[in-house]
A and B are shown apart, each in its own frame.
Chain A
Amino acid sequence: MIEIKNLTYIYDTQQSPALENINLSIQPGEYVAIIGPNGGGKTTLIRQLNALLTPTQGEVWIDGLSTGNVKNHKEIRRLVGMIFQNPDNQIVGMTVEEDVAFGPGNLGLSPAEIQRRVDSALAAVGLSELGKRAPHALSGGQKQRLALAGLLAMDPKIIVLDEPTAALDTSGQTEVFRQIEKLHQQGLTIIFITQDMEEAARADRVLVLHQGRLVADDHPAQVLTRVEWLLSLGLAPPRLVQLMCRLRESGFDIGTDVFDVERACQQISTLVTGQRQMLTDRKPREV
């Protein structure tokens, strides 16, 4: 459970606040996407969640622990795992196993317990075979899964990810999202930043940050279909939504909350068969 109250964060008093009066609560097991233009404050916000940054004003509570209290940081960082954008710069170990063992080692667990956690975390992300490999020899997608395993070994409740797929190719992106969704199904709270609206559409809840303010907090079907508004914030709405909106503007009776090709296909084909039906229905009467 995450509780954010009147959170304001200022990097530099000369500049406007990076975050301004944010109020937010996230329940266990939620699947949340954060979007917003560059400099909107997304990274700053999620860094508050594991106490890499602490509020200038206001409070951030993680499972009843305030990030303002340094004594809580150890437990907060165990509860909230974080994945960064660049897969290379978060690897600490010289082998895959060793890297996963870093977090549990910081918790001071016994070698036997560390080994048990390393094995189960690597199995959970499907990297068991590669335990002895050097991390730099993995693909980008594998590196991000390794980073996830490193968090799982600490038994977190919440995982936050800062543009986890931005540095990956398409297959790496699918690979990482499949993994994230599996963890979500196992009951972990997932919060991720993305520039990709199709990715955002997969979440159950979308937060929009603009100039340090939380300007929307709703279901993707409500947020990602506001084409004009998204464009005015400098965000590109999902292409399928744009297509559906165009069709709707041209007078077709069609839903706009369409995020995958499958649904779009379905909607358009019912539309087309309906039109064709109308034409064939009409013809005999004219004769």
Chain B
Amino acid sequence: MPSRRRALLKVIILGDSGVGKTSLMNQYVNKKFSNQYKATIGADFLTKEVHFEDRLFTLQIWDTAGQERFQSLGVAFYRGADCCVLVYDVNVMKSFDNLNNWREEFLIQASPTDPENFPFVVIGNKTDVDGGNSRVVSEKKARAWCASKGNIPYFETSAKEGTNVEEAFQIIAKNALKNGEEEEIYLPDTIDVGSSSQQRSTGCEC
């Protein structure tokens, strides 16, 4: 029974708007990249099958809108996440400073059973820009932050050139799998479920 459940791994990508969340997902899933900027609305996911230790898993990768005005329904989709990816742009200090907010917001809203050990992965994206000359967040600084938050794995990527994207998602999948194994199991308190739902619903015919 747990096999079917664990075959699906849910990953949430968070970060400021414009850091490259959508691009990372598209690069990983479709091997495509576009220079054009298109805002994301709400939450959107793509799936990708991954082989791991001779088994097949489906990664369900949720891309999110970084702008609040395109996140009107809230974040109920955080629930049941197996791994959370925090992305920032190595050329924009503010996007790095905001990582902490994104992490905390996730822990509050998703309320995982063991927040201390919930798997995060941090990605510093857009390393290609201007040959690295416009970079403002050093790798050292980023790694120090990751270390201080319980040794979060850290990757530097370029969604544009595809650098390190595959590697990052390998670790994301691996850590999601580790988390997925500890999923809670629901047991019903009564066996009779006959028509309970019928009673609560309204008289509408649909």
Co-assembled chains A and B: no
- Give A residues with C-beta under 8 Å from B: none
- Give B residues with C-beta under 8 Å from A: none
